[in-house]
Amino acid sequence: MRTKVAIIGAGPAGLLLGQLLRTYGIDNVILERHTPDYVLGRIRAGLLEEGTVKLLDEVGAGQRAHAEGLVHDGIELAFGGERHRIDMKAATGKTVMIYGQTEVTLDLMHAREAAGLVSVYEAADVMPHDFDSDHPRVTYLKDGTTHEIDCDFIAGCDGFHGVSRASVKPSAIETFERVYPFGWLGILSDTPPVSPELIYSNHARGFALCTMRSTRRSRYYVQCPLDDRVEDWPDERFWDELKRRLDQRAADSLVTGPAIEKSIAPLRSFVAEPMRFGRLLLAGDAAHIVPPTGAKGLNLAASDAHYLATALREYYDEKTSAGIDHYSATALTRVWKAVRFSWWMTSMLHKFPDTGAFGARIQLAELDYVVNSKSAMTSLSENYVGLPF
């Protein structure tokens, strides 16, 4: 098989990149080691920046998001028993949209299928080859037969544990990592959200977040130790703990119900540099991970796809490699700003085991400054709604 761009990974980064390339007339094939149902079964983020929504519109996959997504003008920060609203639209003129990553993935899958583009699911032993030459290729195993794709470029969109970054010589890549000493225990429940906007709560017992997937489905999180197990948290214990970490008004109005999904996610900041290795280019979680506190993971995948698709369009239409040559630096500039913001939000809102009473007081002082300073609220809002790309 021959194509211009072989994309490894059928998550949002790979699917969006494939659709953007298609709009630019660039042939591409997607390889995914799992089934479509498995990909759709992964519960992930649910907040989209305006830039991400515009990209979905550009590739014809934004209709359902506009019909079903919830547009939010602000968020609430809770500390000291009170809630304080940050009006992001007033500060920036921009909003965010609550729309689950699973739904984004499904919409992109449907758009790709409607376009008649090739996607190979359950592709085993996917391996990029010769990406340091002018003739890269990708091999994979399907139905007991080894297949090979000749291509011009390979896009590694296969996540943190994928084969793309792992195929790079260790001497050619530098990684930066911060592993946080706690996780997020999250549940999904068919209950109405406790508030029309997200509540980020700093509490002496630990962080809590109240968000949603729709007006009838809620997503809640509480900070927990890394060695906790889901089995340690029956529904009743979770709801009791969440109530303790919310202000009284929210605790009193919280509607509880059976969890339809429950999981514990560790928090990590990770960046790999560069994001280009000859004709292998990384995008999304294959190159960087951020803690979910800043709601940046999915949106960074989208901006990577935008930068990479634009660079490839320039390569084929304008016969210049300038975009490809600068892809890594361009993408990483935005990535590191999102990493900083996610780290700052995480540091301000979570209970850290090694900072004690002094660290807790610093957090409260920071939060008080943020909610009482127009400049600080604007800075938070600019980063939260998404920096331009």
CATH of the domain at 291: 3.50.50.60
pLDDT in tens, 142-172: 999 999 999 999 999 999 999 999 999 999 9
Q: Specify whether 193 is located in the same domain as 317.
A: no
| Residue % of the chain over a pLDDT of 70 | 99
Query: Do residues 218 and 361 share a domain?
Result: yes
pLDDT at 44 over 90: no
320 and 223 in a single domain? The answer is: no
Domain count, the chain: 2
Which residue type occupies 288? H
The whole-number pLDDT of residue 46 equals 86
At 138, is the pLDDT very low, low, confident or very high (cuts 50, 70, 90)? Answer: very high
Does residue 300 register a pLDDT over 80?
yes
Same domain (yes/no): 125, 51 = yes
Let me know if residue 34 belongs to a domain: yes
Does a structural domain hold residue 304? yes
Q: What are phi and psi of 124, to 5 degrees?
A: -90, 155
pLDDT at 59 over 90: yes
H/E stretch holding 83: strand 82-87
Task: Tell me whether residue 198 is in a domain.
Answer: yes
In a shared domain, residues 242 and 299: no
Q: What pLDDT digit, counting tens, does each position of 182-241 carry?
A: 999 999 999 999 999 999 999 999 999 999 999 999 999 999 999 999 999 999 999 999
Q: Is residue 82 in some structural domain?
A: no
- The token pair that represents 142 in the structure block: 């399907």
Residue-level pLDDT at 34: 96
- Give domain status of residue 63, yes or no: yes
Distance CA 5, CA 313 (A): 11
Q: Outline where DSSP puts E strands in the chain.
A: 5-8, 28-31, 47-49, 70-72, 74-79, 82-87, 96-98, 118-120, 124-129, 137-142, 145-150, 153-156, 174-189, 199-201, 208-212, 218-224, 259-273, 276-277, 280-282, 288-289
Residue 296 sits in the same domain as residue 152:
yes
3-state helix, strand, coil in the chain (%, to 5): 40, 30, 30
Q: In DSSP terms, which residues pair with 141 in a beta bridge?
A: 124, 146
Does 333 share its domain with 367? Answer: no
Q: Are residues 260 and 216 in the same domain?
A: yes
265: tokens are: 């996610």
pLDDT exceeds 80 at position 296: yes
Is 43's pLDDT higher than 90?
A: no
342 pLDDT above the threshold of 80: yes
pLDDT tens-digit series, residues 84-128: 999 999 999 999 999 999 999 999 999 999 999 999 999 999 999
**pLDDT of 389 over the 80 cut:** yes
Residue pair 139/129 in contact (Cβ under 8 Å)? The answer is yes
Residues 351 and 205: beta-carbon distance below 8 Å: yes
Q: Are residues 262 and 292 in the same domain?
A: no
Residue 45 in this model has a pLDDT that exceeds 80: no
Residues classed as catalytic: 72, 200, 292, 296, 384
Same-domain check for residues 142 and 121:
yes
- Residue 76, domain member (yes or no): no
How far apart (Å, rounded) are the C-alpha atoms in residues 49 and 209?
19
Q: pLDDT value at position 60?
A: 96
* Proportion of the chain above pLDDT 90, given as a percent: 97
Q: Is residue 220 domain-resident?
A: yes
Enclosing domain of residue 64: 5-70+98-176+269-346
Position 83 in a domain: no
Which residue reads 């592709």 in tokens? 123
pLDDT single digits (tens) 70-79? 999 999 999 9
For residues 290 and 218, state if they share a domain.
no
Mean pLDDT of the chain: 97
Q: What CATH number is attached to the domain comprising 373?
A: 3.30.9.10
First CA to last CA distance, the chain: 34
Nearest residue to 192 (alpha-carbon basis) of 178, 207, 212: 212
126 and 52 within one domain = yes
The pLDDT of residue 42 is above 90: no
